[in-house]
Amino acid sequence: MLRQGFSFTTRQDYENCLVTLCENIRSEFSSDFTSLHLGETATLYDDKTIGLEGVARILWGLVPLWAGCGSSFMQQEILAGIKAGTKSSNPGGWGKLCNSHQAFVEMAPMALGLLLTPEKVWEPLSENEKSEFQAWLYQINDYSLPVNNWYFFRVLVNTALQSVGACNTEHKIEEDLQTIESFYLGDGWYSDGKTKQRDYYISFAIHFYSMIYVKFRKESDKVRCERFCTRAKEFAKDFIYWFSENGEAIPYGRSLTYRFAQCAFWCATVFAGVDTFPLGVVKGIINRHFRYWFSKPILDRSGGLTIGYGYPNLNMAEGYNSPGSPYWAFKSFLILALPESHPFWSTKEEPLPKLDSVKKLEHPMMLVSRQDKDNVVVLASGQYPGFDPVHSAEKYAKFAYSSRYGFHVPRSYYKLDQAAPDNMLAFCRDGVYFVRRQCKEVIVEETSIKSIWSPLDGIEVTTVLEICNKGHKRTHTITLDFPCEAVECGFGIPVDNYRDLTKDCQEAKAYIATEKDYSIIQLLAGNGLAGEFLAEPNTNILYPRTAIPYYKFSFEKGTYTICTYVEAGAALRPK
């Protein structure tokens, strides 16, 4: 059921959705239109920048809308904001920036406006206003940026300024593209900087911006653009495995509050004219993805996008998530730049092509299991963001991630229900739970992943994950320098009334079920006690109330081997 009433079948459906979402927040503009006040929560950056973020991020949708059908919806508000925000004498403007300023991020959709619709955001300005706008944008060349996908913001800004004849920074574009080139791993994959981070920033950032670059520079930078197109096609062959038959994508990594930006890569390839799969297949991925998200309670009572994932949830958010941050999802409205006459809109939506039931993804260090069409599961080891944003261990280092069941982030590490360590082996020492974070070594085979890791000094674990039947097997060899307790957890499943949960916890298994879902963890080797618990509310990113099955182990100093089988799925499973 679509909660918001959009069927996401026609171009008009997408336009209606975008316009509705923008109308719902239109009254929150400041009097000079330099800010959108969408909530009271804070970020690492200041309130002025939070307001700018709100204004800028809706441009990811408005600019394609203007380009695709000639609409001028909200153009006057945006123009007024640009004039006042970039006016150097305005104390309430966006002002002078500094190294790694968040405003550099928000320049990217403005650059798209200059590239795609200069008649809306550039040509109506006076010469003095153009000079002020140019000077404010040009600051991105005066300061250092994080060495990751941010370098593409500068590429886009400089490309846009050149496109309107404002300045020539070709040398800077080339330097930044060379830096981005150093992130390339092969087979269409990049890392987000010189890190082990290969998450959605590869799809909705690096490849997304590459496709915009291709759209506007394919003649002047032909060789590089051809390379970007080839890489997008290669990446698509792996990335399609992150999406289920029903439209949802694997929740993995940081910035999940951007929600339907998960399909922005596919929208950008169509925008750039890059054929990754048959157009009907790509259309199906996009349409089903939008339908999935708009069947979820992701809007507040006023119809604004909320911080969270499957529902409003500050617990899972990063420190850079402001009330306007979720509008980064508007990147996927890039398809609105396609006019009604584009084949995308008349092509029949198609299901996913036949995909391997088990797929090794070498560069993100993953194994994907698609043996249940309603639940895509990823086994993962080895990724980790270098700057360690909040809940990094939970977002990158769990053993398994599920499109159907999401994952949990802790409220604390002092009680099991508050730590909620689904799909983790958590060690308890002095009343505190410790989990896997970074791996010392990772080997990815065709059907298994081996990792060596240490949750804290004095404990080392070698873990082998293997896809098996409709679930997976975990074998841990644990060496401890001191006595310790540990808990191994399975998938959390949504539950309404915990008293109605079916529970069967015996020596050889911990099994829980509702009328719609089941989760089981079986002990194949080792000595442990089976159990289950109601997780602290709002720790799961998809469901506000969940239960988790587990095994508890008591170890003395020494070396132990334990082995479990873990599975979860729709409907009751025979016991």
Q: Average pLDDT of 255-265?
A: 98
318 and 375 in one domain? Answer: no
- For 278-293, write each residue's pLDDT tens digit: 999 999 999 999 999 9
Q: Indicate if 422 and 397 belong to the same structural domain.
A: yes
Provide the pLDDT for residue 3.
Answer: 64
Per DSSP, what are the bridge partners of residue 537? none
Three-class secondary structure of residue 7 per DSSP: coil
We report the CATH number of the domain holding residue 458 as: 2.70.98.70
- Domain shared by 98 and 207, yes or no: yes
* Pair (398, 334) in one structural domain: no
Provide the edge-to-edge strand list for the sheet that holds 366-372: 358-361, 366-372, 375-380, 400-402
Closest by alpha carbon to 551, among 535, 524, 531?
531
> Taking 70 as the threshold, does the pLDDT of residue 573 lie above it?
no
- Spatial separation of the C-alpha atoms in residues 556 and 575, rounded to whole Å: 33
Question: Does 528 map to a domain?
Answer: yes
CA distances from 125 to 15, 79, 118, 119, 145 (A): 27, 8, 10, 10, 29
Statement to judge: residues 288 and 309 lie in one domain: yes
Is residue 2's pLDDT more than 60?
no
DSSP-based three-state secondary structure for 347: coil
Q: What is the mean pLDDT of the chain?
A: 96
Judged against a pLDDT cut of 50, whether residue 267 lies above it is answered with: yes
- The residues near 234 (Cβ < 8 Å, ≥ 6 apart) are 187, 188
Are 286 and 151 in a shared domain?
A: yes
The per-residue pLDDT for range 445-492, each reduced to its tens digit, is: 999 999 999 999 999 999 999 999 999 999 999 999 999 999 999 999
164 and 118 co-located in one domain: yes
Number of structural domains the chain divides into: 2
- Does residue 1 lie within any of the structural domains? no
Q: Which of 295, 321, 346 is the last residue of a domain?
A: 346
Q: For 345-367, what is each residue's pLDDT tens digit?
A: 999 999 999 999 999 999 999 99
CATH code at position 255: 1.50.10.10
Residue 575 lies in a domain: no
351 in a structural domain: no
Q: Where does the pLDDT of residue 4 fall: very low under 50, low under 70, confident under 90, or very high at 90 and above? A: low
Cβ density class 455-492: b for 16+ within 10 Å, e for less: beeebbbbbbbbbbeebbbbbbebebeeebebbbbbbb
User: Which pLDDT tens digit goes with each residue over 23-62?
Assistant: 999 999 999 999 999 999 999 999 999 999 999 999 999 9
Task: Say how many C-beta atoms besides its own lie within 10 A of residue 360's C-beta.
Answer: 18
In-domain check, residue 441: yes
Residues 342 and 363 in one domain: no
Whether residue 377 is found in the same domain as residue 407: yes
484 within domain boundaries: yes
Q: What is the pLDDT of residue 572?
A: 60
Give the range of the structural domain holding residue 258, as residue numbers without chain letter. Answer: 11-346
Share of the chain above pLDDT 70, in %: 99
As a whole number of angstroms, the distance between CA 362 and CA 47 comes to 41
One domain for residues 474 and 520 = yes
Q: Which residue matches tokens 């006595």?
A: 483
Average the pLDDT over each of 78-82, 164-168, 266-270 and give the range with the smallest value: 164-168
* Rounded Cα distance, 126 and 130, in Å: 6
Q: Could you tell me if 235 and 383 lie in one domain?
A: no
In a domain, 352, yes or no: no
Which amino acid is residue 363, in one-letter code?
A: H
Query: Does position 575 have pLDDT exceeding 50, yes or no?
Result: no
DSSP letter for each residue of 27-39: GGB-TTSS-B---
**Sheet strand arrangement including 471-480:** 439-444, 448-453, 459-468, 471-480, 558-570, 517-525, 509-513, 502-505
Final residue in a domain of this structure, among 326, 346, 366: 346
- Within 10 Å of residue 117's Cβ, how many Cβ atoms? 23
Examine the fold and report which residue of 297, 326, 346 is the final residue of a domain before the chain moves on. 346
Q: Quick check: is 33 in a domain?
A: yes
* Residues 301 and 249 both lie in one domain: yes
Q: Closest Cα partner for 192 from 420, 366, 364, 15?
A: 364
pLDDT on residue 372: 78
